[in-house]
Amino acid sequence: MRSMNTAITVYGIPNCDTVKKSRAWFAEQGLDIQFHDFKKQGVPTELLPGWLKAVGWQKLINRQGTTWRKLDAATQASVQDDASASALMQQQPSVIKRPVVQWQHAQGTHVTVGFVPEQWPAGLNGASKG
């Protein structure tokens, strides 16, 4: 079932614990989602500008994760704006905080990052994030 004419797409990596938890949460709610696997399908570069505008590169880049910590200091230091963050996310999809959830509805698109079910009902209702 689709909730209130909202199409939900979850972007991430299937073996990521947070993505697994998120997918399970949606299933428990009886929500039909599309899953986009960064490993198999790549990063949807056409969507990155919208994600960056919605949540900012600081939120999209997971600086607590293993992928970020394995990067050399010069690469980490070079990520300072949308363009440099976008380039890194395309080269290293695992550096993106997961999951990215995109909610398409009549009022537009809503984007959340991470396992945040307390913010998801707002996405289901087509409300913008606060």
What is the DSSP code (8-state) at residue 51? H
- Residue 113: name the closest of 36, 44, 60 by CA: 60
Would residue 45 show up in a list of annotated catalytic residues for this protein? no
Active-site residue, from 7, 13, 16, 122: 16
Using omega within 30 degrees of 0 as the cis cutoff, is the peptide bond preceding 99 cis?
A: yes
For residue 128, the one-letter residue type is S
Beta bridge partners of 100: 11, 113
Distance of CA 57 to the CA centre of its chain: 11
Active centre residues (catalytic) = 16
